[in-house]
């Protein structure tokens, strides 16, 4: 699982970060 996570990060960091960034943006807009 760790190797897959690393490969995903190297393959497309945006795809990995988006799920964590989207809720943060929603919270910032809601506040």
pLDDT digits (tens, 9 = 90+) for 4-15: 655 555 656 666
Token reading at 13: 């960091």
Assessment of whether the complete model's pTM goes beyond 0.85: no
What pLDDT shows up at residue 19?
Answer: 72
CA distance 17 to 13: 6
């Amino acid at each position: 699982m760790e190797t897959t996570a690393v490969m995903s990060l190297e393959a497309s960091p945006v795809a990995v970060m988006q799920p964590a960034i989207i809720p943060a943006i929603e919270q910032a807009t809601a506040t």
